[in-house]
Amino acid sequence: MHKKIYQLAYVVLFAALFTSCKKKFDDYYARPDNLADPIYKQLVDNGKFTNFVSLIDKAGYKQTLAAAGYWTIFAPTDSAFTADAEFAAFIKDRGFNNVASLDSVTAQMIVQYLLVYNAFPRSDIDDYQSSLGWVPDNAFKRRTAYYTGFYNDTSYTGTAYKAVASNRNNTSSNTGYYVSADNGNKYIPCFTSDYFAKQGLSAADYNYFYPASTFSGFNIANANVTQKDITAENGVIHIINRVVTPAKSIDEYLRNKPQYSLFRSILEQFMVLFIKNADATHRYQVLHGGSQDVVVKVYSNLLAFSPNNENYFKLQDNDAQRDGWTMFVPTNDSLSKYINTVVLQQYPSINSLPISIIADLLNAHLWQSTVWPSKFNSTFNFLGEPAKMNPATDIIDKKVLSNGLFYGTKKVNEPNVFATVYGKSYLNPRYSLMTRLLDMEIKSTITNPNVKYTLFMMSDAVLAARGYSYNAGSNGWVFTNPVGGATSTNDSNRLNLLRMLYSGVIETPNNELNGIGTTGFKGIIGSYGGEYIKYDGNQVFTAGTIERNVTVKIDSVVKVLNGQVVYLNDLLYFPYLNIGQNLAGLGTPATSEFNYFWNYLKNSTLFNTTTSEITGIAGGSFYTVFVPNKAAIVQAINDGMLPGTAGVPNFTPTLTADKLKVENFINYHILDKRTVIANGNDIGAFPSLLKNAVGDPVTFSILYPGGVFELGDGYNRKAHMVTALSNNLSNRTVIHLMDNYMKY
C-alpha cells in the first residue's frame, strides 16, 4: 500500500518536472514575436504580387519559400507583369498568352531564375565570395536555382541526342568536362553603382545592353530594384519593376540564331563532341524512365572556353560571380566573305584547313573575361588581342547571357596570325615548313601589328629542292644532300634553317624596304638574326648566296597589316667561309685597296694559314672589320704604326716589336661582337679586339657628324667609309674600306 503511494508520488513529481522543462524549452526556442514573416507570406500579404505568387504556387515553390531557408528573391510586382513587353514576348515564344495560362515548367523557370541561393542585402550583393574571404564590389552575378538540365540537341551530322551541357571548361587544368553532381545553375546579373565604380564602368555600359531601362545604381538585368532589403524569416526580398526571364547560355543563344549559323556550324563541326555519360544517363532514366542514353555536349580544349559551361573556370566555387565569357560572332555574310577572301586564299575549303587555323579563327572571337562596351580596346581575347570593333558602328546585337556576354558583329575580328606577315606563311600550305620554323621562336614577334616587318619567304618546294624536309614521326629536321644523297637528321639541320629564316626577317619601322624589288632600289640592312643582307633591284644577296654564286631573285612583294612579304626563288643561304677567307678574296688582287691590310694579316701571328682563322675571332659571334685603304696603310707606316720603310710595307717583319705592331693594328680595326653599317643606329664608344695592359678592350668611337659615318680614336684621328667598296658581307660580319687608319 505504502509502495503504491510512493510510486504514484514519483509519477506526479516527474510529470510536473517534465511539464515545467518543456514549457521553458518552448518559451526559449519559440519563434520570436518580432521575427519577419517568411518570403511567401510577405508576398501574399502585400497584395501586389498576385501574379508572382501564382507562379510560385504553380512551380511548387510555396513550401520552399514559406519555410525556413536562406534565399534572395527578386520579386516582380503585378504591374511588372502587365507592362513588360519582353516578358510578353518570352511567354508568347513558349506558346502562352498570359500569366494564367503558363504551365508549371515555365512557371518553374521564372521562379527559379529569380531565386538566388543565400540572402544578399544590397550592401553584399556585389561582393565576391572568394575562397579567401569576401572581396567588396567585385561581383556582378549571383547563382540562381534555375538550370537547363536535359535537353534535345542535334550533332553537325544530324544525329539527334538527349544531351546535357558540359559544366566545366574542357582544359587540362580541370579534372573533366562534366561533374555529375553539378547542375550548372544559371546566373542572374546584378548591376550596382559600387561595382561599376570599382571597375571603371558607367551607366553607358549598362544602357548599351538595356537601352529601354534606366541604370538606377541597383539593377537586376533590365529591371530596376524599386525597393530593396526587405527582411524575411528565410532571406531577403528585392522588389523589381520588370519580370526578368531566364537568360540563355552562349551555346543556347547561338542555337536558334540563323544570322550566325556559319560561325556556329564551324564550332559544331570542328569543336564539338557528344560523349555518352553513364552518370547522366542513370540520372535521366531514374527521373524520366525509359532506356535512352544521355550524352554530354563537350567543346574542344582548343577553344578558349566551352560556350555551354555556366560555371566559368570553377577554380573557386564562386568565380562565376565576378566574371564570365565573351563571344563576338560575325554575321554569315561578313564571315563568309572573310573566309573566302582571306582564309581560303590557298585552301580549297574549310574542311581542308589545319585545325590550328580553325581554332585561331574561332578564338579570335572568344574572350575568357567580360568585355564591357567601354573596354573593347583594353580587354584581350584568347590570342592576346583586343576587340578590333567600334562599339557604336560594328555591333548589331548585344546580350547579357547567363554565362557571359554576346556581341553580334558586322565584321570579323581578324586575328593577327592571319593579318600580319606571319599569315602569308600560316595560311598557305605551300609554306608549312616555314610556318613550323616561325612557330619555334618568333611567331609572337612578327605577329605584333604595331611593328613593321619585311619577311622573305621560304617555300616547301624550294626547301625540298635544297634537300630539307621534316619528319613528324621523329619530330626531326632532315637534310638530304642534293649532290650525293647523303642524309642527316641531327639538330644542325634545324639550326641551319633557322639561320636562313632569320636572315629574311627584317624589322622595318620606317618602311625602309618599301621599294624592294624595283629597279634602282638597292642597299644593305640588318636582319633579325643579326646578319646583313644586300638588295639591288629584284635581287637579294647574303654572304652565303655570294659564296655559292647563287642568284636569288624576287618574284613578288605583297603588303600586309604590319609590313610586307617578299617571295623568292631560292633561299637566303649563310656562308661557310670564315672572315679570313673573305678578306683573302678581297685583298689578294694586287690592285685591290684591301691588299696591304690583307698582306699584313696573312703574314701575322694572328692568322692561321691552314684554316684562315684569325686569333681572337670566335665562330658564331658578330664582328665588323674596318680596313684602311692603301694610302692609309702607307701613312701608318710613315707614322711608325706598322713595319716598313718610307711608306713601303714590310709584310714579314722579324722583330718581335714589329710583329706586335701588326697584331695591335689589326685588332684595333676589328669591332668586337657587333656588326655595324652606316645606318645611324650605332653611335658612341665601342670595343675593339685590342686589349690594353690590364686586359680591357681599347675602344674607338662611331659618330655621324653632318650625317656622315665616322670612326674616331683617342688621338682625334678620323676615318670615313669608302662607300663604293664597303658593306662586304662575311660570316656574321661586314667588312668596310676606310680612308684612314686609327691610332691605338
Mean pLDDT of 639-666: 97
User: What are the grid coordinates assigned to 246, written together?
Assistant: 531566364
Assigned architecture for domain 579-738: Roll (2.30)
Torsion angles phi and psi, residue 716, rounded to 5: 65, 25
Q: Which residues contact 399 (CB under 8 A, 6 or more apart)?
A: 209, 247, 253, 405, 406
Instruction: Average the pLDDT over each of 18-27, 634-643, 678-687 and give the range with the smallest value.
Output: 18-27
CA distance 335 to 53: 47
3-state secondary structure of 507: strand
- Whether 148-186+246-419 and 430-568 share one fold: the answer is yes
Mean pLDDT of 63-90: 94
User: What are the grid coordinates assigned to 348, written together?
Assistant: 580549297
Residue 261 pLDDT > 80: yes
User: What are the grid coordinates assigned to 160, written together?
Assistant: 539527334
| pLDDT for the residue 6 | 39
Q: What is the mean pLDDT of the chain?
A: 94
Predicted confidence band of residue 44 (pLDDT cuts 50, 70, 90): very high
CATH topology of domain 148-186+246-419: FAS1 domain (2.30.180)
DSSP 8-state secondary structure symbol assigned to residue 84: -
Assigned architecture for domain 430-568: Roll (2.30)
Mean pLDDT of 267-273: 98
3-state secondary structure of 445: helix
Bin 629: left if φ > 0, else alpha if -120 < ψ < 50, else beta: beta
Q: How many CA atoms lie within 13 A of 123 on its CB side?
A: 2
**Each residue's pLDDT tens digit, 325-346:** 999 999 999 999 999 999 999 9
Mean pLDDT of 118-130: 97
| pLDDT for the residue 172 | 60
Residue given cell 504553380 in the structure block: 58
Torsion angles phi and psi, residue 326, rounded to 5: -135, 135
The percent of residues above 90 in pLDDT, for the chain, comes to 92
Q: How do the domains of the chain map onto residue ranges?
A: 1-30, 148-186+246-419, 430-568, 579-738
Mean pLDDT of 537-544: 98
Asked whether the beta carbons of 423 and 439 are under 8 A apart, the reply is no
Q: What angle do CA 48, 51, 55 make, to 5 degrees?
A: 135
Asked whether the beta carbons of 506 and 531 are under 8 A apart, the reply is no
**Each residue's pLDDT tens digit, 456-500:** 999 999 999 999 999 988 779 999 999 888 899 989 999 999 999
User: What are the grid coordinates assigned to 392, written together?
Assistant: 557604336
**Each residue's pLDDT tens digit, 160-173:** 999 999 999 987 65
| pLDDT for the residue 474 | 76
Residue 72: beta bridge partners? 116, 236
Asked whether the beta carbons of 412 and 397 are under 8 A apart, the reply is no
Residue 35 pLDDT > 90: no
